[in-house]
Structure 1
Amino acid sequence: MEPAMPATVRILIVEDDPQDAALAEREVRRADIFCTFRRVETRDDMAEALREFVPDVILTDHSLPAFDARSALQLAQQLSPGTPVIVVTGRLGDEPAVQYLQAGAADYIVKDQLHRLGPALLRALDTKRSRQAQARAHQLQGAIYRIAQVAMSTPGLEELLPAIHQIVGELMPARNFYIALYDAANDLLSFPYVVDEHDTDFSSKKPGKGLTEYVVRTGQPLLVTPEVQVELERRGEVELVGAPSIDWLGVPLKIGDRAIGALVAQTYTPGVRYGEREKEILQFVSTQVAMAIERSHAEADLRASEARLKAIIDAALDAVITMDGDGVVLSWSPQAERVFGWPASEAVGGKLSTTIIPPRYREAHERGLAHFLGTGEGPVLNQRIEITGLRRDGREIPVELTITPVRLGGAWLFSAFLRDISERKLLEAQLRQAQKMEAVGRLAGGIAHDFNNLLTAIIGYTDLALADLREGDPMRQDMEEILRAAHRAAGLTRQLLAFSRQQVLAPRVLDLNEVVQTVDKMLGRLVGEDIELQSVLAPGLGHIKADPGQLEQVIVNLAVNARDAMPTGGKLTIETADVEMAETRGRDLTTVPAGRYVMLAITDSGTGMDEDTKARIFEPFFTTKEQGKGTGLGLATVYGIVKQSGGFIWVYSEPGHGTTFKIYLPRVEGAADALAPPVGTAAVPRGTETVLIVEDEEAVRALAKTALARKGYRVLEAANGGEALLLCESERAPIHLLVTDVVMPGLGGADLAQRLAPLRSEMKVLFISGYTDRAAARHGTMQPGAAYLEKPFSLDALARKVREVLDRE
């Protein structure tokens, strides 16, 4: 951005002889320089010419009657610094000439060698332009640096944009100045900063055909004079918006190839015009301005994110501490008292190292302080780092530290901002634990799914084998042992599904007190006579919606866990209550909504747990019992059932002080359903209807077909949803029942049932599955109350369920 040669060079001649001045003018014109001259003889005249004529070059005689070249040079340097001065003299020795050059003269010319004046003047102008270019480049680089510094030091656009205006105003006339930002996501143009003498309406708007929109749309700078404005309007490219300006100059704010807004200056004064120089200035700073604005937006987003995180972890206020170069505490904020436990009266005046720094780090602290005082460098300064702090009670805590050195009155002062991040560290550990639990749950659910298909085949074919064996056959005992083992394995898979929240529940509106009273009858035998069992049930307890069988399983599992924690006897208390809860955070970092809940608390007086054990108790297969005395699935099952029922669970325990499990289930309105009585044993029903079995596991499909065929049913089969659709289209006879797996490759069971409903209005549906994770998007497609049979199932259970569904109205 080097300045060009002025169109007309203004030359000030300081000379008392008009003839000598005329000779100088003639030699300058011989150099093909288009110029204008003014001659002065006195100091006052020269001062006035410097202010009004504003010369580009000064030619001065060595000696005048009341004035000399040395005085002229000093006056020029004072009133017009940077303007080159050429000394023209009749004679001049080497020593005076050198003195002039050392004093700042651009050149000297002896009058009998005036032919050198033209080239000397051109050299002086070239030097001036070069220096001006260097100065302007330095000024622009300084502006870029200052914009970057302001962007890093200001918290938002409200402080950043006025600072940018001030910096631009130091480079060029920018009295009327605004910054426009374009939000591409919402197609909205806003004006976060405006200073304008005439226009007042700069409200946000959809982009139209104004000059600002033109610059944003084209991504190109635009200098608009009145003539250019008329031409752009004539072509229909822009429309006049607001008061017309004399010159309007806008450049795009770009990040890469993306225009995020425009930087605009305009003038309403005829004496202030814009040209290529001003356009180049705005272009030069626009990239840094765009980066500064983008950084401010990013930092605003980051601050918003940090504010949300702060709300989640309920971070403590910062402690603010200052110390001097000797490490002596000068100030100690109230937050520092809370974080470190030292009152300000005791902390101030003491050494920081012995107050909050653990002994093992004190030597390193002293070395680092000495190193900074000696070199001005420190690796931990002006950045946020994590360190270990020491409380007054001797407890070490993780602390986030930012320390900044400040030079005041020739001495160093250090300001430190410290934040106790103990809770954040705890939450990070809990988050890792929650993620691990989720991963283990998915693994457990997948294992249970595959295992249930195998168990269905084992149980079913064992049932078929037993049906074909006579009483007294020696093989019957072996078959029955296989069946018992398979049912025990099925119990394990049910616990895995409960933990992984992938079982199908049959929720009903329940009176929790009634459930506790039902289970209470068997708990006495379960926990033993050396344990006192007490129930404290709140009268008029609110109702909940849960699966009664699974809720009973929760109570039994917690009671067994409590029993094992009291090997020498103790007390087990079951308590219910209605509670109102504010929004809080669950142990697995999920948000517990505010509202009304029904609480179930089970408390024992046993051995209790330490923090490490509490952190792992809900992991499947984790147990503190001796080998062979537990599967490690009891509490994992409790956790899964509670979460799947929409509830939350907390654990309170200390070694030697017993344990309390508190379960909170959402309270619901409506009358409680009666608990179903035990189902008696009856003969397995038969039928003659047509049943379509859709199951991708061949062994399960073949088993179900054989079992139902033996009960008199006509059985059709398909290995997937596509085959089932084709079969239903080709089959002429009615199909009374669809028995389908819920989760299959391609078309799932629930979607298959929906597809077949218009074709087979007479057909009822029974879903079977050992894995319902994806089916509970199932709650949207597999309707609540749909008939369902959980794998693994016995042949009798399948036959009963088929008959039950077929007999429904």
Structure 2
Amino acid sequence: MFNSIRKDYSLKIKTFLIKVTTPSDLTDEEGIRYWQERLLLVFLFAGVVLGFVVCLASVALSIKEDLWGVAVVDTIIYAWVVVLFFCRSFPFVIRAVSVSLISYVLGMVLLLTIGPFGGGPVWLFVFPVIVAILLGLRSALGALAVNAGTVILIGILLQSGYMEWDYSTTNPVEKWIVISLNFMLLNSIVTISIAVISGRIQGLLNQQKSMLVSLEEKHSELLESNFQLKREMVERNQAEDALLESEEKYRLLVENQNDLVVKVDKKWRLLYVSPKYCETYGKDEEELLGKNILPLVHEEDRSRITKSLERLHYPPYTAQHEERNLTKDGWRWFSWVAKGLLNEEGQLEAFVSVGRDITDRKQTEEEKQALENQLQRSQKMEAMGLMAGGVAHDLNNILSGIVSYPELILMDLPDDSPLRKPIKTIQESGMKAVNVVSDLLTIARGVAIGKEVLSLNSIVEEYLSSAEHQKLKTVSPIVTFKFQLDSELLNINCSPPHIKKTLMNLVANASEAIEGAGTVTISTESRYLDEPFKAYEEVKIGEYSVLSVTDDGTGISPEDLEKIFEPFYTKKVMGRSGTGLGLAIVWNMVQDHQGYINVMSSEKGTIFELYFPVTREEVAAAKENIPLEDYLGQGEKILVVDDEERQIEIACGMLTKLGYNAKSVQSGEEAIEYVKKHSVDLMVLDMVMHKGINGRETYEKIISIHPGQKAIIASGYAKTKEVEFTQKLGAGKYIKKPYTLEKIGIAVKEELEK
């Protein structure tokens, strides 16, 4: 157990000694430099540990002998040794020179104070030896020279009597010379030998290091070569595996993807077809290989595709196009991307093409385009309607005098007056102008007011017996007009005058589309759609009464078919008929009735189908003509509010003829001020007044003064939301200008009797 403890402590001490005497910033690979640093640390460590005892004894003896200078020097030297040991950041040369000088200084001090029999010669002897070990041969020779100079100097001092030792001896100078010569001889032999050995060791270490470096380089080169060889073998194996994997992935990709892959030579023959291609075309690979691809391309697309594939002859040797292909499911759209394959001369010898079925996308694009066209058409029609409505309003005001005054004049003329006929002609011409203005107003949406439940059959029958149709038959004597009416046709909620106008325009257009003899057929039928029907517009699910007008004329071109419902678009001969508003009226009327239009045309003729939603309500009893006596007044006070002086004159004149007390103002503000001072039985209120507030604002303020004030609304515009809002406030019937005696008389009478 004791031996074990001793070994343990010995190992710890050894480890500690190695640690404190080993440089931290150098390794043994540094050669002699490492060992010089380590020997320096050994010298310093020995000086710190053992020098303490020596310094303590020397200082004590020096004090006892009254050698205070020696004591101070010993203390300073020991302190410097401690500093050099612990401050290893000092450069090696400074620390090595310091240790060497310490040896020299100690030798000189001891030699001068104690004499040759003290430790001085030993320290001087060690001085060049330490220099040889730490600093090399050249520095060692310098140290020997310093020692030689030192012993010569001491000899001179002894000879001259400036220095003597405490003990007496005979012939001290001669003895010193002998001692010095022996000292320098031994000192030189030992110092130079150690320096030479140290240098040789350094050379051997350098040579060994060079050999190790060379061996390491050779070893590295061998390792690199071996690594390169292994890497090349791995890369080759990886390349082979990657090639196999790539081929497998390519095969799986081509054989399992939804896209079609083909390889085609420059003569358009198939060299390769993917399984998906075979599946799409419903043929085996053997049936397709070697066959020309052009017969599978739609005839209309072939020239365009041929031109597109010409780009494969030029950089970047790619082409992209869309085409229709004849598959097992019929004609379908495909998007193809082709890449040219060049031979060694850089000439195209084949190309690979990848195709994708885009039929659904094409259909979506077509539907989107159709919706955009429909929206643009609606916006255009709405804009034209707004313009037409504004023009019609102004024309109505102008025509009011031409239509209304003849009626008032005729009431005062005797039956045998020669003026009755020309005035009647003026009135009829004015009414024709009113009809033209009515066509303009019809283009403005929302004019189909006053709807009632009717059968399309009754409207068709009324039209067939009308003067307009008889005139058309006279103008087109070689055109045959037929009708096929459904006896069980369901009723619709409609505006009869506008439906009749629509039918008249369609029949007139159909007859004019026939060059020479032909037939125009008017038909009706009830039709139920259980799924949406894509026509000129998309017809929704529901029950419809369908009005059809068919002709066997030359048809309408696809380009014209897109524009036929636009106002003023016509290809008729100027002066023969119409103004280009006929089909615009048809389109707006169908929209106002929440219906749909379908147009089909070819070289064999055209058919217009109008779909009107049905109603289960019954047709109301026919209205009888109301005699003039039934709507005469009894002196009631009527206030006419209008910003047009002519309209005021006409309205007041008619009301006066009917027996009313008519008053007038020319703005909404004047009407408000008037009712503040006077009460009126009823107001005839113009909705659109350019001076000040409009009719709706006027009525709002008047009912705040006189709640429940009766009023009827008049306007040259179609019925608008402003009219509907005013009626919700309490206003009565809406009448459209120009005024007629019956129209204004009945409206006023009905409102007063409420």
Give TM class, smaller chain.
0.5 to 0.7
Task: Report the CA distance shift for 1:517/1:459 in structure 2 as closer, same or farther (over 3 A).
Answer: closer
Note if 1:804 corresponds to 2:711.
no
Contact 1:430 1:588 survives alignment (8 Å)? no
Contact 2:482 2:521 survives alignment (8 Å)? yes
Given the alignment, which residue of 603, 612, 621 partners 2:550?
A: 603
Given the alignment, which residue of 551, 554, 562 partners 2:502?
A: 554
Read off the aligned partner of 2:683 and give its amino acid letter: L
Read off the aligned partner of 2:485 and give its amino acid letter: L
- The alpha-carbon deviation at position 455 of structure 1 amounts to 1.8
Contact 1:741 1:768 survives alignment (8 Å)? yes
Distance in 1 between residues matched to 2:640 and 2:325, nearest whole Å: 69
Match for residue 712 of structure 2? 766
Read off the aligned partner of 1:416 and give its amino acid letter: G
Given the alignment, which residue of 721, 739, 752 partners 2:684?
A: 739
Which is greater in Rg? 2
Given the alignment, which residue of 428, 431, 438 partners 1:494?
A: 438
Match for residue 614 of structure 2? 667
Task: Report the CA distance shift for 1:332/1:764 in structure 2 as closer, same or farther (over 3 A).
Answer: farther
Task: Report the CA distance shift for 1:424/1:533 in structure 2 as closer, same or farther (over 3 A).
Answer: same
Task: Report the CA distance shift for 1:626/1:401 in structure 2 as closer, same or farther (over 3 A).
Answer: same
Note if 1:714 corresponds to 2:714.
no
Contact 1:647 1:664 survives alignment (8 Å)? yes
Given the alignment, which residue of 343, 358, 371 partners 1:419?
A: 358
Note if 1:389 corresponds to 2:323.
yes
Task: Report the CA distance shift for 1:757/1:493 in structure 2 as closer, same or farther (over 3 A).
Answer: same
Secondary structure in structure 1 of the residue aligned to 2:599: strand
Q: Deviations over 1:32-81 (max 9, x none)?
A: xxxxxxxxxxxxxxxxxxxxxxxxxxxxxxxxxxxxxxxxxxxxxxxxxx
Note if 1:442 corresponds to 2:386.
yes
- The alpha-carbon deviation at position 692 of structure 1 amounts to 1.9
Q: How does 1:359-758 map to 2 (within 5 A)?
A: 359=303, 362-368=306-312, 370-373=314-317, 387=321, 389=323, 401=335, 403=337, 413-417=352-356, 419=358, 421=362, 424=365, 427=370, 432-461=376-405, 463=407, 480-522=424-466, 525=470, 528=473, 532-566=480-514, 568-582=516-530, 584=532, 592-631=539-578, 632-655=580-603, 657-677=604-624, 685-709=632-656, 711-728=658-675, 730-733=676-679, 735-744=680-689, 747-750=693-696, 752-753=698-699, 755-757=701-703
Read off the aligned partner of 1:800 and give its amino acid letter: G
Secondary structure in structure 2 of the residue aligned to 1:671: coil
Distance in 2 between residues matched to 1:781 and 1:705, nearest whole Å: 23
Note if 1:322 corresponds to 2:261.
yes
Secondary structure in structure 1 of the residue aligned to 2:449: coil
- Structure 2 unaligned regions, length at least 5: 1-23, 42-84, 91-204, 222-256, 342-349
- Structure 1 unaligned regions, length at least 5: 1-10, 32-88, 105-317, 382-386
- The alpha-carbon deviation at position 507 of structure 1 amounts to 0.8
- The alpha-carbon deviation at position 536 of structure 1 amounts to 3.3
Alignment length (residue pairs): 507
Contact 1:578 1:598 survives alignment (8 Å)? yes
Read off the aligned partner of 1:737 and give its amino acid letter: L
Match for residue 232 of structure 2? none
- The alpha-carbon deviation at position 660 of structure 1 amounts to 2.0
Contact 1:597 1:666 survives alignment (8 Å)? yes
Q: How does 1:158-169 map to 2 (within 5 A)?
A: none
- The alpha-carbon deviation at position 601 of structure 1 amounts to 2.1
Distance in 2 between residues matched to 1:498 and 1:767, nearest whole Å: 19
Match for residue 793 of structure 1? 739
Q: Identity of paired residues, percent?
A: 24
Task: Report the CA distance shift for 1:785/1:471 in structure 2 as closer, same or farther (over 3 A).
Answer: same
- The alpha-carbon deviation at position 490 of structure 1 amounts to 1.1
Secondary structure in structure 2 of the residue aligned to 1:574: strand
Secondary structure in structure 2 of the residue aligned to 1:358: helix
Secondary structure in structure 1 of the residue aligned to 2:564: coil
Contact 1:740 1:766 survives alignment (8 Å)? yes
Task: Report the CA distance shift for 1:786/1:532 in structure 2 as closer, same or farther (over 3 A).
Answer: farther
Q: Deviations over 1:414-444 (max 9, x none)?
A: 4233535378456255554444333333322
Instruction: Report which of the two has the higher share of strand.
Output: 1
Distance in 2 between residues matched to 1:694 and 1:344, nearest whole Å: 87
Distance in 2 between residues matched to 1:690 and 1:424, nearest whole Å: 64
Task: Report the CA distance shift for 1:535/1:467 in structure 2 as closer, same or farther (over 3 A).
Answer: closer
Task: Report the CA distance shift for 1:461/1:342 in structure 2 as closer, same or farther (over 3 A).
Answer: farther
Q: Deviations over 1:85-128 (max 9, x none)?
A: xxxx978779969x98xx99xxxxxxxxxxxxxxxxxxxxxxxx
- The alpha-carbon deviation at position 544 of structure 1 amounts to 1.4
Q: Deviations over 1:384-422 (max 9, x none)?
A: xxx5636679xxx99784738799xxx985423353537
Instruction: Report which of the two has the higher share of helix.
Output: 2
Distance in 1 between residues matched to 2:495 and 2:572, nearest whole Å: 29
Distance in 1 between residues matched to 2:374 and 2:527, nearest whole Å: 26
Q: How does 1:199-214 map to 2 (within 5 A)?
A: none
Contact 1:546 1:645 survives alignment (8 Å)? yes
Note if 1:782 corresponds to 2:734.
no
Read off the aligned partner of 1:739 and give its amino acid letter: V
- The alpha-carbon deviation at position 565 of structure 1 amounts to 3.6
- The alpha-carbon deviation at position 726 of structure 1 amounts to 3.3
Distance in 2 between residues matched to 1:359 and 1:28, nearest whole Å: 95
Read off the aligned partner of 1:417 and give its amino acid letter: R
Contact 1:533 1:573 survives alignment (8 Å)? yes
Distance in 1 between residues matched to 2:644 and 2:425, nearest whole Å: 25
Distance in 2 between residues matched to 1:709 and 1:406, nearest whole Å: 92
Read off the aligned partner of 1:615 and give its amino acid letter: E
- The alpha-carbon deviation at position 620 of structure 1 amounts to 2.6
Task: Report the CA distance shift for 1:777/1:806 in structure 2 as closer, same or farther (over 3 A).
Answer: closer
Distance in 2 between residues matched to 1:491 and 1:341, nearest whole Å: 63
TM-score, with length taken from structure 1: 0.52
Contact 1:695 1:740 survives alignment (8 Å)? yes
Secondary structure in structure 1 of the residue aligned to 2:315: helix
- The alpha-carbon deviation at position 546 of structure 1 amounts to 0.8
Distance in 1 between residues matched to 2:695 and 2:400, nearest whole Å: 18
Task: Report the CA distance shift for 1:333/1:463 in structure 2 as closer, same or farther (over 3 A).
Answer: farther
Contact 1:696 1:744 survives alignment (8 Å)? yes
Contact 1:721 1:752 survives alignment (8 Å)? yes
Read off the aligned partner of 1:760 and give its amino acid letter: H
Secondary structure in structure 2 of the residue aligned to 1:782: helix
Q: How does 1:63-102 map to 2 (within 5 A)?
A: none
Task: Report the CA distance shift for 1:423/1:626 in structure 2 as closer, same or farther (over 3 A).
Answer: farther
Distance in 1 between residues matched to 2:279 and 2:572, nearest whole Å: 44
